[in-house]
Chain A
Amino acid sequence: MRAKTAKSAVLIAAAGLLVCAAPMFAHHSFAAEYDANKPVSFKGTVTKVEWTNPHARFYVDVKDANGKVTNWNFELASPNVLSRNGWTRHSLKEGDTISVQGSQAKDGAFLANARTVTLADGRKVFAGSNTDNEGK
């Protein structure tokens, strides 16, 4: 029901859409884990989805130019934040071919914070954590 509502009309702030280069304010420091200035973009097949706190995660097999496949771990916002933004636990499924943009982990792990995801049905959706921070 909520997803249908989200489909019918997605409100964008009238005065301007605020977009954060660094999805801030998870339960951990963003800047200590990810490099916001080095965006990454991948396309691949979803191998696993974890609809869990403190972050939902999904794993994607990504093939490089040489055909080598690497399994990447993409961090989403929490299921709570995602649900409030219209996601469901079915939005991403094993076997889906998706593309994702985000920020890679600073420590070099095959780990990234997903900012936007283009789902299997072509919808491009926001995946970050930077909501609900008014009032400081």
Chain B
Amino acid sequence: MNKYCITLAALAASLPLSAQNRPSAGAVATSPAGGSVQAATAPAVGNRRRAPERPKGPTPHLADGTVDLSGVWNGGGPIGDIAQGLKNGEKAEMTPAGERLFKSRQSKDDPEANCLPTGVPRIAPYPWRIVQTPTHVFFLFEGNIHSFRQIFVDGRKHPDDPDPTWYGHSIGHYEGNSLIVDTIGYNDKFWFDFAGHPHSESLHTIEKYTRSDLGTLEVETQIIDPVYYVKPFTLHFTATLRPKEELMEYICQENQVDAQHLIGGAGLN
């Protein structure tokens, strides 16, 4: 959970919306800096939806035995900082060139804030859908500027010299309950996270999408970029099935007026 989040404990059960008109309790909670903040600014006793339960059940399969990854998912990649996905003391150690670029980045320049794609492995805080066909797998993104990825699962190879693009050239194959996706041909324009972790056009990613049960999609992404990182590292995230969700339209360019108000170096949140 995010460091800014505070907990107002012991608020249980369901509450009629009419009860929202009641004066809120003046609870006090701990701020990130350790001081107190007024709960009066955030008694969000409103119509915020509780995150749905993760559906339970066995891993589904298609008629031919291939793991069935289809459905609407939420999460599965970094948003704030790729470090959130590192395990076992592993580090995303940057080269001097990577460090220089990382430290120079300004929030206002984040492509995500400017309604440009997240690239890989970054995820937007909106649902996304996996669609499988015998030859292609598509990731349809609600957020992330309402774009899509395509992964070729028809046995083709990477082209020798692909044009650099936001999602690169992806080929995949199945191993048990996993889809393995190998991607090259990325451009160097997207950021890995709000923090501004960089990559070069040499980026090579190997993603492993494992449907470990009905409601869980484990996402491991190996990042290989010798230009900006000392050695490869692997990120671990988990997506949750949202069986009752449908993707909605999200045209980010429609009314983007935030980027010009962003100030300071790139940061977590």
Contact = CB atoms under 8 A, between A and B. Distances in A.
B1 A18 contact: yes
Interface string A37-77: 10101000000001011110100000000000000000100
B62 interface: no
B95 to A, nearest CB: 25
Nearest to A124: B20
A28 B259 contact: yes
Contacts of B266: 29, 32
Given A22-B4, A25-B79, 17 more contacts: A10-B14, A10-B20, A24-B80, A29-B267, A32-B264, A33-B258, A41-B41, A53-B251, A53-B252, A54-B250, A87-B47, A101-B40, A105-B261, A124-B21, A130-B5, A131-B125, A136-B84
Contacts of A130: 2, 5
B120 interface: no
Interface of A: 6-22, 24-33, 36-37, 39, 41, 50, 52-55, 57, 75, 78-80, 83-87, 101-102, 105-107, 109, 111, 115-116, 122-136
B110 interface: yes
Chain B interface category by residue count:
35 or more
Contacts of A136: 75, 78-79, 84-85, 237-238
B63 interface: no
Contacts of A87: 47
B239 interface: yes
B10 to A, nearest CB: 7
Which 6 A/B pairs are nearest by Cβ-Cβ distance?
A: A135-B75, A126-B46, A32-B107, A28-B113, A86-B47, A52-B255
Interface stretch (B30-38, B154-162, B173-181, B198-206): B30-38
A29 B47 contact: no
